Chain A
Amino acid sequence: MDTAELASVAVELLSSTDPRDIRARLVRLALEEATADRCTLTSVDRGVFRVEESYEPGGQPTFVGHEYPLSHLDDQPLMARALSSGEVVTGESLATPHTPPELAPALQEVRHSAIVPLHLGTEVGAVFVLSRKRDEPFDPAALQRIGEIGGVAVLSLHNARMLEGVTAAQRRGLDALALFSQHLATSESRTVFFGRMSETVGGLTGAQRVAYWFIDGDELRVQPEAYGFAGVDIAAMTMTLQAALSAGLFGVLYAGESARYKRQQAAGPDSPLAPPFVANLLAVPWRTSEASLGMLVAYDSASGFGEQDEWIMRLAARASSLVLQGYTAQQRMLQLQADEMGRLREHGARMAAVDRRKSDFLKLASHELRGPLTLLRGYISILQEGTIEPLPAKLMPALDRMDAEVSRMNELVGQMLAAIRLEHGQVKVEAHETRVDELVRKVVNATDAGARRVVVEAPEPALAFADRGQVETIIGNLLSNAVKYSPDGGDITVAVHGDDTAVEVDVRDQGIGIAADEVGDLFRPFSRLHAAELRGIDGVGLGLYLSRELARAQDGDITVASEAGSGSAFTLRLPRRRAAPLPVAPEEA
Chain B
Amino acid sequence: MKIMTCPLNGPRNISEFSCFGPVHAAFDPAQVSDAEWTHYLFHHENKAGVIREWWRHTPSNYFFIAERNTVTDEIVATYGPHDRAAQGVSA
The reply to whether chain A is a binding partner of chain B is: no
